[in-house]
Amino acid sequence: MKPKLVVGNWKMNKSFDDAQDLILDIQNALKDKRLQTEVILCPPLVYMELLTDIAEEEDSQFYAGAQNCSEHGAGAYTGEVSAEMLASMGVEFCIVGHSERRKYFGEDNTIVAQKVKILLDNDVVPIVCCGELLEERQQGIHAQVVEKQISEALFGLKPSDFERVIIAYEPVWAIGTGETATPAQAQEMHAFIRGLIEKKYGTEMAYNTYILYGGSCNPKNAVDLFMQSDVDGGLIGGASLKANDFVAIIEAGETVIKDN
């Protein structure tokens, strides 16, 4: 079994002091552990230098990630942050295509594909989100929706680029609602996604690609979700804002690895 991967997406939360406290609390809770689970923290962009300074310390147990970047390389795009800027600060990962970016900022699969490419060009690993709305699941078209998102955003990549991509499946109806896909529902969709990758890039690529579950994962359900054979970890929202909860999810990853 591959090591699990746990990504904390703070979204638009925390003051500077609170952000610093949370980063340090997570760092202190993890510093004496010999983790197999890999951890990425994605706070708001304004805290990126604070994060990277700590992430680059010798005893750090996490990597620095961002929540978004521009699809443009540089220029007159007021308020935007480029992939090159992220890379220059030591940011190694970046979330793109999150359902909230799609819903509130009109990002479509074409824009997501552009962001993926520009991140890869700057040696930043994209964490690419996909997932269906509640009505799409109710209509029974959730698989088609996710296939279209992945195909249009990622399947234009050559294998040497695709192998650097992480995918996060986030059923939109389970984000911030307290609802969670059952372990069986999560496994079904993760297996479907892995099957798409296998058809496009082969069995080895499909196995090696990390597919995370995002959608109200918490300390109570993390072990059951992570035990599923095609769930490689979690993209954690609300539970990443409390150090104890986030560390408990990381420990769930450790438990599953040890038991298998």
d(CA 139, CA 141) in angstroms, rounded, equals: 6
C-beta atoms surrounding 31 within 10 Å: 11
Integer angstrom CA distances of residue 212 from 3, 46, 110, 189, 227: 12, 25, 22, 11, 12
Pick out the chain residues at pLDDT < 70: none
Indicate if the alpha-carbon torsion angle 167, 171, 176, 182 is positive or negative: negative
Alpha-helical (H) ranges within the chain are: 16-30, 48-55, 83-88, 99-105, 109-121, 134-138, 142-154, 159-162, 183-201, 203-208, 222-226, 243-259
- Is residue 49 part of the annotated active site? The answer reads no
Residue length, the chain?
Answer: 260
Q: How far apart are CA 116 and CA 157, in angstroms?
A: 9
Closest CA to 128 of 104, 154, 146, 152: 154
Beta bridge partners of 130: 169
State the pTM of this model. Answer: 0.96
pLDDT at 193: 98
* Active-site annotation holder among 38, 71, 98, 254: 98
Q: Which pLDDT score, from 0 to 100, does residue 38 have?
A: 97
Catalytic residue among 71, 100, 136, 170: 170
CA atoms within 13 A on the CB side of 207: 5
Rg (CA), the chain: 17
Residues 6+ apart with CB under 8 A from 178: 216
Q: What is the DSSP letter of 229?
A: T
CA distance 10 to 21: 14
Whether 98 is catalytic is: yes
